Amino acid sequence: MIPAEPITITLADGTSVSGLWQEPPDTRACLVLAHGAGAGMTHKGMTALADGLAARSIATLRYQFPYMERGSRRPDSPAVAHAAVRAAVAEAARLAPSLPLFAGGRSFGGRMTSQAQALTPLPGVRGLIFFAFPLHPAGKPSDDRAGHLSKVTIPMLFLQGTRDELAQPELLEPVIRKLGSQATLKLLDHADHSFHVPAKTGRKDAEVMEELLAATAVWIAMLS
């Protein structure tokens, strides 16, 4: 197991957040990885992503959004979240200036990353990776949250469970088609928003994670 090194990331306003830098010895790319709305960078799902990517020679920089750093349950405003994304990307570029750079995250973190990219491109980032993009709130199907994606001009990878209550496939798939060749959708059978699968399906969560990690590694390799 590759250990994660605690670091501090300074934002443009002078405040700082915690980060975890995980770099395998044979690193071939780096992913700046943001957490979801309800759990921070040390959540077991985030750790599993970072460990799995490290095993595939991909470094990660996990980081906290300011609200999570404060222990608050209320997510930051988009402007504050975007500033954290930019600071984390800049820190990753400083830590590994020669590596191909990617950015994204779980749910809320991925959406904040794509919003930041849509407003002003993140320097050096070659592609965005969404681990369960939150297309709409649970029980409120809509594609309103996808409007900004048409302004993203770099490749995007969407990894989504077919049982994701925050991204119904019948709504997400037309969004992906409209984005054209810039977007790649990888559907994970029977998985929900947390990539959990019911036992009755005959699938296990570990199998879903392996499928997700393999797809991520292949996509990164194509763009690296």
- Close Cβ partners of 137 (under 8 Å, ≥ 6 residues apart): 166
User: Kindly report the CA angle at 169 between 167 and 171, in degrees rounded to 5?
Assistant: 75
CA 14 to chain CA centroid, nearest Å: 25
pLDDT at 1: 81
Rounded Cα distance, 90 and 97, in Å: 10
Q: What is the DSSP letter of 132?
A: S
pLDDT at 84: 98
Rounded Cα distance, 44 and 170, in Å: 29
Helices 44-54, 205-223: inter-axial angle, 10-degree rounding = 50
> CATH homologous superfamily for 5-223?
Alpha/Beta hydrolase fold, catalytic domain (3.40.50.1820)
**The model's pTM:** 0.96
Q: What is the mean pLDDT of each run of 10 residues along the chain (224 residues)?
A: 94 96 96 96 96 97 97 96 98 97 98 98 98 93 93 98 94 95 96 94 93 98 94
Per-residue pLDDT tens digits for 42-62: 999 999 999 999 999 999 999
pLDDT at 139: 87
Cα-Cα-Cα-Cα dihedral sign, residues 162, 168, 170, 173: negative
What are the boundaries of each domain within the chain?
A: 5-223
Helix (DSSP H) and strand (DSSP E) numbers for the chain: 6, 8
Spatial CA neighbour of 196 closest among 184, 185, 212:
212
pLDDT at 88: 98
